[in-house]
């Protein structure tokens, strides 16, 4: 079918008027949904957790779309195309994660009907731990949202065929549409629009998959052997430098899924919007099922893109490498291969993915700031109407910070998958550790929690930035990089032409979350046990009068 394709890809046009109309209609619809739900709210509880009886199907899809985000939508096809299929083995972690979250965590969590998950920490560990958890969550989500907004904008300019100088404008438009309908509509608007965005995300990926299958007259794109450009991805590896292994992937995924469900306000807030633990469990099952299905689809999209451009290398621009630029292949195909109108729908899906994560993050951060800081210290407005208005203004301010902060994300180098894990994994395990101690360790001591959290964060940072750390030790202290099992490599800055030295990571990013969680649990439980032996707890019956 290559006879029907143009000889030069440069002649292919980008988005047309019909595509822009589709994008505009979508933006207007989402803002309209926010306005509709916003005018029906009567309390901050409705704003943050709906009415406590929302449909588990909607909650489950909302959870999935929120945690999928544009980052996953771009990284999974790019990872499958450029690195190999080991990401699909992460699906084996889902049954383990479901049992832990559904039958261990949710029954405990749902006994406490709270607006902010971090309210649960104060009664057991004190105000300081509550504020620590809330502050870590805010920091985590601000960085995460800033990163995904930047990556979404970068992908969109590829699809639109415009220069990178327009990234700030795309960020501004994407961010503020999401902020407007979130700050106006609250959680109900977020959940409903997330469901719409899920359909667009799935539809966009399936359209790309269908187009490639049609253009190649079948499924000849499916890989039948290990590609020579893919990484070595063993089932198990005792070399910490191995980027991804099947066992390492399982540990990473179980840790991330459980810690996110059990410590992230974005997830806990949605569980609280359901009727009871059973409904929350159903919502979580729906999230995992949707996650598994879409992960498979996105992985197949990566394989299809690889097969297509290997069969027709002349259809790829000369300045784009199929393997080094793997993360950009998916958005480029959308812009230059899909028919007019369909391309607009898929760009809307990208637009939707970015907004689904912004809306949920902004709403969750707003709930934490209002509940854990303002309300907790008696700074709330005098009336309920004023409370709702303050929440909406705060949501708008947080969204503005994210939009501005995203302009600095271009300085972060590397593959999307690696960069994402090196940022979001830094605080995911430490935040969950607080809940683990508060709800499941009866002899816990606050001082042990503080120390364990600190050591966990240090562990995560050292692993995430082990390569730059080795480079720094070599340049400033003369410690040879070979001591850590790696060699310094020259890196060219294409913008300035400067060459610098950088060591590969001696420890893979797949161990950030598991290692940090292990350090936190062992340190916290061990020190708490020692302190409880030194200072036995006082029993209430000894001090109470009869």
CA 386, 391, 394 angle in degrees (round to 5)? 120
Return all residues near 122 (Cβ < 8 A) that are at least 6 apart.
129, 130
Instruction: Give yes or no for a contact between 262 and 432, defined as CB atoms under 8 angstroms apart.
Output: yes
Of 394 and 234, more confident: 234
Instruction: Give yes or no for a contact between 502 and 491, defined as CB atoms under 8 angstroms apart.
Output: yes
Q: Which of 47, 39, 36, 513 is nearest to 269 (CA)?
A: 47
Which residue's structure tokens are 């690696």? Answer: 418
Instruction: Give yes or no for a contact between 442 and 525, defined as CB atoms under 8 angstroms apart.
Output: no
* Residue 527: predicted pLDDT: 95
Report how far residue 452's alpha carbon sits from residue 223's, in angstroms, rounded to the nearest whole number: 45
Count of beta carbons in the 10 Å neighbourhood of residue 496: 8
Q: Is the pLDDT of residue 400 over 70?
A: yes
| Number of helices (H), then strands (E), in the chain | 19, 2
Report how far residue 121's alpha carbon sits from residue 450's, in angstroms, rounded to the nearest whole number: 13
Report how far residue 44's alpha carbon sits from residue 47's, in angstroms, rounded to the nearest whole number: 5
Phi-psi region of 84 (alpha: psi -120 to 50; beta: other; left: phi over 0): left
| pLDDT tens digits, one per residue of 77-124 | 988 898 888 888 889 999 999 999 999 888 888 877 665 677 778 878
Domains of the chain in start order, with CATH, are 2-231+245-410 (1.20.1730.10), 441-536 (no CATH)
User: Strand locations in 66-112, DSSP E?
Assistant: none
Q: Which of 12, 358, 8 is nearest to 158 (CA)?
A: 12
| pLDDT tens digits, one per residue of 215-261 | 888 899 998 888 888 888 888 888 898 888 999 999 999 999 999 88
pTM score of the predicted model: 0.79
Phi-psi region of 339 (alpha: psi -120 to 50; beta: other; left: phi over 0): beta
Instruction: Give yes or no for a contact between 22 and 345, defined as CB atoms under 8 angstroms apart.
Output: yes
Phi-psi region of 86 (alpha: psi -120 to 50; beta: other; left: phi over 0): alpha
**Least confident stretch, 70-84, 298-312, 346-360, 504-518:** 346-360
| pLDDT tens digits, one per residue of 183-220 | 544 445 555 666 666 677 777 788 889 889 988 888 99
Q: At what angle do helices 127-160 and 265-272 cross, to 10 degrees?
A: 100
CA 257, 423, 69 angle in degrees (round to 5)? 60
Chain Cα centroid distance, residue 279: 24
* Residue 337: predicted pLDDT: 76
- Region 274-282 average pLDDT: 82
| Torsion (CA) 49, 51, 39, 393 in degrees, nearest 10 | -20
| pLDDT tens digits, one per residue of 138-161 | 888 888 777 777 777 777 776 666
């Amino acid at each position: 079918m290559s006879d029907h394709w143009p000889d030069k890809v440069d002649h292919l046009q980008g988005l047309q008027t019909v595509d822009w109309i589709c994008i505009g209609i979508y933006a207007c619809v989402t803002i309209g949904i926010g306005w509709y739900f916003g005018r029906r709210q009567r309390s901050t509880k409705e704003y943050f957790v709906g009415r406590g009886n929302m449909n588990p199907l909607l909650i489950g899809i909302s959870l999935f779309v929120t945690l999928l985000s544009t980052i996953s939508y771009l990284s999974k096809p790019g990872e499958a195309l450029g690195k190999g299929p080991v990401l699909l083995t992460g699906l084996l972690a889902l049954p383990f994660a479901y049992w832990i979250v559904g039958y261990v965590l949710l029954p405990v969590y749902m006994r406490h009907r709270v607006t902010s998950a971090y309210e649960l920490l104060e009664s057991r560990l004190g105000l300081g731990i509550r504020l620590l958890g809330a502050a870590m969550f805010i920091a985590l989500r601000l960085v995460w949202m800033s990163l995904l907004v930047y990556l979404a904008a970068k992908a969109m300019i590829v699809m639109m065929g415009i220069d990178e100088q327009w990234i700030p404008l795309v960020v501004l438009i994407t961010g503020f549409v999401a902020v407007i309908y979130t700050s106006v509509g609250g959680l109900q608007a977020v959940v409903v629009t997330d469901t719409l965005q899920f359909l667009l995300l799935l539809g966009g990926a399936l359209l790309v998959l269908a187009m490639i299958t049609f253009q190649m007259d079948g499924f000849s794109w499916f890989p039948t052997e290990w590609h020579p450009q893919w990484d070595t991805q063993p089932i198990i590896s005792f070399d910490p430098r191995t980027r991804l292994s099947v066992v390492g992937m399982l540990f990473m995924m179980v840790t991330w899924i459980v810690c996110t469900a059990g410590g992230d306000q974005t997830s806990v807030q949605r569980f609280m919007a359901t009727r009871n633990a059973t409904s929350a469990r159903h919502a979580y099952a729906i999230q995992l099922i949707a996650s598994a299905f879409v992960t498979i689809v996105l992985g197949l999209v990566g394989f299809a893109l690889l097969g297509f451009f290997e069969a027709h290398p002349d259809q790829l621009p000369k300045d784009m490498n199929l393997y080094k630029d793997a993360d950009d292949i998916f958005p480029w195909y959308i812009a230059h291969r899909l028919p007019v109108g369909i391309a607009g729908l898929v760009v809307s899906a990208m637009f939707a993915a970015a907004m689904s994560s912004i809306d949920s993050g902004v709403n969750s951060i707003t709930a934490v700031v209002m509940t854990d800081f303002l309300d907790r210290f008696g700074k709330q407005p005098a009336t309920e109407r004023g409370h709702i208005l303050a929440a909406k203004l705060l949501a708008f301010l947080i969204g503005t910070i994210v939009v501005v902060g995203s302009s600095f994300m271009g300085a972060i180098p590397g593959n999307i998958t690696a960069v994402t894990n090196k940022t979001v994994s830094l605080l995911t395990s430490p935040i969950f550790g607080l809940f683990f101690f508060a709800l499941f360790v009866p002899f816990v001591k606050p001082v042990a929690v503080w120390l364990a959290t600190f050591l966990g964060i240090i562990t995560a940072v050292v692993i995430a930035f082990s390569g730059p750390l080795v480079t720094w030790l070599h340049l400033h202290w003369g410690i040879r990089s070979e001591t850590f099992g790696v060699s310094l490599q020259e890196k060219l800055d294409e913008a300035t032409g400067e060459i610098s030295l950088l060591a590969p990571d001696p420890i893979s990013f797949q161990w950030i979350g598991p290692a940090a969680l292990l350090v936190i649990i062992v340190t916290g439980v061990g020190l708490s046990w020692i302190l409880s032996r030194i200072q036995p707890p006082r029993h209430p019956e000894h001090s109470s009068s009869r």
